[in-house]
Amino acid sequence: MKKEKNTEILSPGARVVRWVLSIILMIYTGITIFALSITVMDSLKSKGDIVTNFVGFPKQLTMESYFRVLKEANLLLYLKNSVVLTVGGTLGCILLAGLTAYGISRFDFKGKNFLSGYFLMGMMVPVQVSVLPLFLILKRIGLLNNIFGMMLVYASGISMACFIFQKFFHTIPVALEESARIDGAGDFRIFFQIIAPLCKPVVMTVALITAISQWNDFYMPMVLLGKKTSNTLTLVIYQYIGQFTKFMSESMAAVVITLIPVIVLYFLFSSKIVEGLTGGAVKG
């Protein structure tokens, strides 16, 4: 017997919308690739070449900009700050969001609906609204201009992560936990030994989205990390751009160095993001 092929049934209006969206996405992708290509090429040009030939191919490839950035700008220190901040903030966010979402999805308590709505509202409120309270709180507890204080700020941004975890937990059968409770397991043991191992796809999704967002963040470190020794890579790029005409090639090299981890993570784990986001829909 011949297998029936799955065919899409779309109305004419839906097809037009899909084509329009496809064209917009292709244009956006083309502009992004063009801008990235210009950045990489300019980072490989000499200072004289970049002034006279900003858009074209380098007349002669040189790594001088990378060497100057790594040596003179102490970029390795800022790279370490960014890595420590991103890893610590991401792990803290996953732990807090996972525990919070598990409590909301599994237990009935007064104010449960309000708490769920509160986290949804947190996804809609711009980060600029919370800057002044965060600044005053960190100053009061002595963690202003401190990597650990900034890490706590990142770890507390659990609105989107909590929403993703909560939807995923609803797909896990409650019978698994009930059988564990009969054997005498407590809530924390159930979470870490039974629930957590089942959450690898969604954990990977939340980790990648959170890590990329924190790695590229400029606004919060600019406000909360004023000390030079605690600066991140994004702040160093801003310092170069502030002296645009003199350090153009160095700024491009710093941008490329900052983009490399993000691009590598995307190509390695992009499929995991889609799998984690759609896991609840497939199982539900």
pLDDT confidence of residue 278: 56
What's the pLDDT score for residue 165? 93
Q: What confidence score (pLDDT) does residue 1 get?
A: 45
User: Which pLDDT score is estimated for 73?
Assistant: 66
Q: How many residues does the chain have?
A: 284
Q: Up-side HSE of residue 176: CA atoms within 13 Å toward CB?
A: 15
Token duo for residue 85? 């901040």
pLDDT value of position 282: 44
Q: Tokens for 46?
A: 């000499």
Residuewise pLDDT in 10s, the chain (284 residues): 444 555 566 777 888 888 999 999 999 999 989 988 998 998 888 878 887 887 888 888 888 888 888 876 677 888 899 999 999 999 999 999 999 999 999 988 888 889 888 888 888 888 878 888 999 999 999 999 999 999 999 999 999 999 999 988 988 888 888 888 888 888 899 999 999 988 888 898 899 889 989 999 988 998 898 777 888 888 877 776 655 456 778 888 888 888 888 888 878 776 666 665 555 444 44
pTM (two decimals): 0.82
